Chain A
Amino acid sequence: MKRVFALCFIVLSIILLQASISLAAHRHAATYINASSSFGGVYAEWKQLWYPEPGSSPHHNNHTLWLWTNGTTGASLSSNAFMEIGYWHGWNYNLEDVNAFYWARQTTTGYYETNYTTAVLPGVNGTNHSFTIQLENVNGYEGYRGYIDGVQIFQKQQGWPSVKAQCGLETTLPDAPLPNVYPKWLQYKTNNSWVYWNYGAIKKDAPYNYLYQNGHYYEGRDFNDNYY
């Protein structure tokens, strides 16, 4: 009888393990910048990489530049408003396997939209691309424009200011090794000038994490830290 219980326990454990793998939430390997004053924009450049291989549906990776809007920083759901631009690899919401650039946004009203673009294409694995989100007047109202390789991908009216930016990789894969997900460099716009983020090299802590060492404006988080 004891043996039957033991065997049932093993079977149940296997089933639960499978379920937890299939329902795994997003993980991040991202850095973020908290501005002492509001940003005028943020710029990142990175080498486009197709891995980690997202594998089967519904898994995907997105290499993304986020700019928080309306003065929000994501401290709570009601203060979740951002614009984002980046690269999507893997399965999308329509069960299609894609390799494309995209942009998305969340508003303070709870509206979320994500869009693919064909205006610029990712090209071959390892190609360098640049991503920009700028605060701009859009038809006379506060708004943001997004650019990939200098080509405008979106323009949307959405509130200022922006006091936080993030950049990195988001993935649904729970334990994938994430080498080389750091951006090549970052810049941010302050007082109408683009400032290179060159103080302190980008630290590449293999195999998962990267960290910007400045101690003043930004800090990095290890991929294994899960949410932040």
Chain B
Amino acid sequence: MRRIKTISLGILVVALIGVASIGGYNLQHPKKAISSPPAAGPENLNPAEVVANSKLPENIKKATGGPFKSKEEILAKAKDAKAFGPGSKLSGRAEAVLMKQGETNQRFTKLTGEVAERLDVDDSKEVWVAIVGGEFESTWRSNPSGLDIPPTKWIMYVYDATTAEVLSVKTGPGSWPDKFLEPLQ
């Protein structure tokens, strides 16, 4: 009887270690949201019907076949990242704005108190600016002082609008997201 009890306990421990290992693995391997377009059935399509039923795509650039993302998709990408760490939380605030890279720089130089004067302005490039609010761990930041940086309340991602690659990540004082979105004078 005692042996059965010991064996049962052993099995329980192995099972618990297994569950814990899977949990640890998942912490370090967040899954990316992968969406694949539904497969079309070209053999059954009537060209005249397709033309009649077609609508102008909401986002024309996406229809070019590039990886350009819609507002919803870019927000989903920003929220999925959550600036690393299982301790980070989203607050619900999330917005994305499409603008020229030069305008993004101008808006930020206004906040930092710099004189814009078209610094680093590149008006040939469009970017998605996604702002997400919450409680984000700061261990992802380069930190030469070694001091513990407290969690940050918001993160802004700047994505290349054509490739959806992240170009820049920003964070700072709590009032800045609202000020950033104020109309430029």
Contacts and interface: CB of A to CB of B under 8 A. Distances in A.
Interface of A: 3-4, 7, 10-11, 14-15, 18-19, 21-23, 25-26, 28, 30, 56-59, 62, 64, 66, 68, 74-77, 80, 82, 84, 91-96, 104, 107, 109-116, 138-141, 154-157, 166, 170, 172, 226-228
A154 B122 CA distance: 13
B28 A96 contact: no
Contacts of B83: 93
Interface residues of B, number: 58
A15 B166 contact: no
Given A93-B169, A96-B166, A139-B115, A11 B143 contact: no
Given A7-B13, A11-B20, A157-B114, A94 B173 contact: no
Nearest to B10: A7
Contacts of A115: 167-169
Given A14-B17, A56-B28, A139-B115, A113 B170 contact: yes
A166 B144 contact: yes
Nearest to B80: A95
18 contacts: A3-B9, A18-B24, A23-B86, A25-B148, A58-B140, A66-B144, A68-B144, A80-B145, A93-B140, A94-B81, A94-B169, A109-B113, A109-B173, A113-B108, A114-B169, A139-B115, A156-B119, A157-B114
A80 B170 contact: no
Contacts of B111: 111
Contacts of A84: 142, 144
Given A10-B13, A15-B24, A113-B168, 17 more contacts: A22-B24, A22-B28, A23-B86, A23-B139, A30-B144, A58-B85, A77-B150, A92-B169, A93-B140, A111-B171, A112-B141, A114-B141, A116-B165, A116-B166, A139-B117, A141-B114, A170-B143
Interface string B28-71: 11101000000000000000000000000000000000000000
B80 to A, nearest CB: 7
A137 B138 CA distance: 31
Contacts of A28: 144, 146
Given A14-B20, A23-B85, A58 B117 contact: no
- 6 shortest interchain CB distances as A-B pairs: A74-B145, A227-B146, A18-B24, A111-B172, A157-B114, A94-B166
A27 to B, nearest CB: 9
Given A28-B144, A77-B149, A111-B112, A18 B21 contact: yes
Nearest to B33: A95
B147 interface: yes
Nearest to B152: A112
Contact of A141 (B17, B84, B115, B148): B115
A180 B111 CA distance: 40
Contacts of B149: 77
A95 B113 CA distance: 31
Contacts of A58: 28, 84-85, 140
B168 A11 contact: no
